[in-house]
Amino acid sequence: MKVELLGAKIDALNMQETENMVAGMVSRGGGGQVITLNPEYLYRAQSEPGLLDVANSAGVVTPDGEGIVWACKTSGHPVPERVTGIDLMLRLVRRASAEGWKVFLLGASPGVADAAAKKLSERFSGLQVVGTHHGYFKDDEDKEVLDRIIAAGPDLLFVALGAPRQELWIHRYLQQLNCVAMGVGGSFDVISGHVQRAPLWTQRLKIEWFYRLVKEPTRWRRMMVLPKFAWLVTKKYRLKT
């Protein structure tokens, strides 16, 4: 079931159900896009309707972040739980190793996708990583990157270019990619060990965002969106203006 939040349709599924749904897409073939929707993306989409169109044409849209979970509850259409990019990616990679699906990692600084692929292969035996490519290429190099991915023929493509570039990139080339593709933000940095994931206690207390802000103070500009997003949700669903 999908619930609507500020114009975006979000899948009201828990983590296990989401994993199963994406696995179904992979098994059926024909490809598809998976978006883990966060408040920054949805706030920006209010003034850039193209971003809403991209989200609403994706096969799966998950509530990524406590902000989205809270907003869905406030709107009267709650979702079961937060489904973050990195957690869903790790589950899908585990599934890929069991099912024999081929995986490609695109994005992050040079060397990071390779390091992440190595870590994943150590963790999930039998995993087939059919290619990696860094994420610092120019628009006129898209074709070259695309050709490499197509030649490798993955079943699952993880794209770490940051939002919303990764979502737009996948949307633009989905037909040619002919696989299931998902944007994963900074996940390769964490999986490779270049960046530490916020400790579990910060996730449990729902203050992971605060931990990331302390660790990477340059994120404050992005986080300025969070109170604006909260106000927008309050205005629309609580005050009904």
- Considering only 7, 78, 80, 162, the residue that binds ligand UDP (CB under 6 A) is 162
- Considering only 163, 180, 182, 191, the residue that binds ligand UDP (CB under 6 A) is 163
Residue 91 or 237: the one with the smaller Cβ distance to ligand UDP is: 91
Q: How far is CA 15 from CA 19, 67, 108, 157, 167, in A?
A: 6, 17, 25, 19, 20
Which residue stretches of the chain are H helix?
Answer: 15-28, 39-45, 49-56, 66-74, 85-99, 112-123, 142-152, 165-177, 187-192, 200-204, 208-215, 220-223, 225-233
Here's the x/- map for ligand UDP, 23-62, by CB under 6 A: it reads as ----------------------------------------
- Does 189 bind ligand UDP (CB under 6 A)? Our answer is yes
Q: How many residues line the site for ligand UDP (CB under 6 A)?
A: 13
- Does 231 bind ligand UDP (CB under 6 A)? Our answer is no
Cα 183 to chain centroid distance, Å, stands at 4
- Does 72 bind ligand UDP (CB under 6 A)? Our answer is no
Q: What amino acid is encoded at 15 in this protein?
A: M
Provide the binding-site residues for ligand UDP, judged by CB under 6 A. Answer: 107-109, 135-136, 160-163, 185-186, 188-189
